[in-house]
Structure 1
Amino acid sequence: MFKKAIEQNLLSIHVHNLRDYTPYNHGKVDDHLYGGEPGMLLMIEPIVNCINALQKERNYDEVIYMAPDGQQLTQSVVNACSLKQNIILLCGHYKGVDERVREHFITMEISLGDYVLSGGELPAIMLADAIVRVMPGVISDACSALTDSFQDNLVAPPAYTRPYNYKGMTVPEVLVSGNHRTIQEWTQQQILKRTKEKRPYFFEKEPMDQVH
């Protein structure tokens, strides 16, 4: 998907190594924490130098830090990010980044969930993938992405394809009936049923995940 988007000039991705922006010898980008806590932390200078250098080249709509304690990544967040022109994704490592980076240079923090990975690279790739697939022109059938799970805070319905009968396991008759109205009614019922089963809290909250 990335390759297709890049070939169609819908997307460009650039990876920047913080070691190229550090003022310290031997490409040093991390140090021990003040206060004596265990672990290492990414230093402020390499990160800020990188952000400043990039912002001199173009305007950025968001500087996003992939943080375990950030805003949860949801489809509405993805949809909002897909409307941005330029985004910086900052990947943390070790114990994360110096808090001053988060306080003064980050505009949005996004988390994949309440767990910690060894670095922010995988979350950044997952965010990028989710954004790219909803960009017009990337997926051949644009309606496909719009009917995925979590659009409109609903879960996608059961889906079937050939063969109709596999060892006695058959496709619901309504889907092969040819009655489009009946199929739509069945589909909507299944969407609500599956959402209540798998994501019941979608019906308990106000519209979710507004991007700030």
Structure 2
Amino acid sequence: MRIDIISVLPELLESPFSHSIMKRAQTKGLLEVHVHQLRQWAVNEYGQVDDYQYGGGAGMVMMCEPLAKAIEHLQSERKYDEIIYMTPDGKRFDQQIANRLSLYENLLVICGHYKGIDERIRQHFVTLEISIGDYVLSGGELAAAVVIDAIGRIIPGVLNDETSALTDSFQDNLLAPPVYTRPANFRGWEVPSILLSGDPKKIEQWRYEQAVARTTERRPDLE
């Protein structure tokens, strides 16, 4: 998979893709992430990419021309399965969206700033608008990093044990069950005996029951 990102602050995205699972995905050649500075398509020599809103009001708006040029330049090099705009009023991101996007080959992500991007870019270029929650960030970069991390980790071959991703929270509209590791007894706090039984079927059933119980208690909206 290749993911291109358009941003006015590429520096914000250097760290998230340089460590841990995202770094491993790129080292294995399973994921490419390319961040493009929008100002290289600026409308003037000063690097301008934003302007005042028509109709007045506080806050600047990212201009049509730089974004259109950036998108069209990248489109001339490859066809994108989705052109994604990170925005608080987009579709709420969830595991099912991550699963679907992980099957694609080329994604383009636009990171908004200020009061957002000119509506005409959304109307004529964007194919999917995503929000990571009902709150506002300073820009779309951190939200893009969240989405790309969720997508990248489930690309086949990225994780050493691919079944790990299949048992994550939300994969079956259930939260993950509780997990334990050594020692079996810590300060008198014992691991459930079923997990020490060596019976895979009973353990699987216990985990399913725990997942259902935890989901009912904490996230009944998922059921």
Q: TM-score normalised by the shorter chain: which range applies? A: over 0.9
Aligned match of 2:89 in 69, 72, 96? 69
Aligned match of 1:15 in 23, 28, 35? 35
Q: Could you tell me how far 1:16 is from its partner in structure 2?
A: 0.6
CA distance in 2, matches of 1:185, 1:160: 16
CA displacement 1:140-164 (0-9 Å, x = unmatched): 0000001000002111100000011
How do 1:151-190 and structure 2 match up within 5 A? 151-190=171-210
TM-score with structure 1 setting the length: 0.94
- Unaligned regions of 5+ residues in structure 1, if any? 204-212
Greater helix percent: which structure? 1
CA distance in 1, matches of 2:118, 2:196: 58
Instruction: Read off the aligned partner of 1:18 and give its amino acid letter.
Output: L
Equivalence for 2:67: 47
Equivalence for 2:151: 131
Equivalence for 1:100: 120
Matched, 1:195 2:195: no
Q: How many residues align?
A: 203
CA distance in 2, matches of 1:129, 1:185: 30
CA distance in 2, matches of 1:183, 1:84: 35
Aligned residues: CA RMSD = 0.8
TM-score with structure 2 setting the length: 0.89
Matched, 1:91 2:111: yes
Identity %: 53
CA distance in 2, matches of 1:117, 1:6: 27
CA distance in 2, matches of 1:180, 1:87: 39
Q: Secondary structure at the match of 1:19?
A: helix
Matched, 1:34 2:59: no
Regions of 4+ moved over 3 Å: none
Greater strand percent: which structure? 2
Q: Could you tell me how far 1:188 is from its partner in structure 2?
A: 1.2
CA displacement 1:100-119 (0-9 Å, x = unmatched): 11111100000001100000
